[in-house]
Amino acid sequence: MTWEAKLIKHNSENRIAVYFEKNQDLIARIKQIEGARWSQQKTVWHLPDTEENRVRFNIAPPANSLPTSEGITQIEKFKQWMCSKRYSESTITTYSDALKSFLIFYREKPVAAITNEDVIIYNNEYILKNKLSSSYQNQIVHLVG
């Protein structure tokens, strides 16, 4: 069974369209995805444009959802340092993902120019605004503070 997924605008909303020949098994599977809807107008199944759905359907993340090449280099160095300290794979992933989120937020700023004040701004404008958990907040503060 072949399918194709691509980004579309539907009713002024960013969505992922999934094209495939009519197949009851595929229709049943796509209905299981949260937010999946059929568009009579476009004659296509479409889903919310989320990171999870982009991964599921092999669609590249938006350019502004990745750190700069400098940020990626720093994340790799951080992972190597954590490996050398014998942190668990799970801990390395958790902290690396937190660092990635922070560096995406400050994508336009050189890593060396990030200050403690920037950590406070990130806390207020990203963590608190998005109602992220206090454990995530603590990870960030300990990681970059």
Predicted model pTM = 0.58
Phi, psi for residue 114 in degrees, rounded to 5: -75, 135
CA–CA gap between residue 81 and residue 75 (Å, rounded)? 10
Whether residue 1 is predicted with pLDDT greater than 70 in this model: the reply is no
Average pLDDT, the chain: 90
pLDDT in tens, 66-76: 899 999 999 99
Q: What is the mean pLDDT of residues 83-110?
A: 92
pLDDT score, position 145: 64
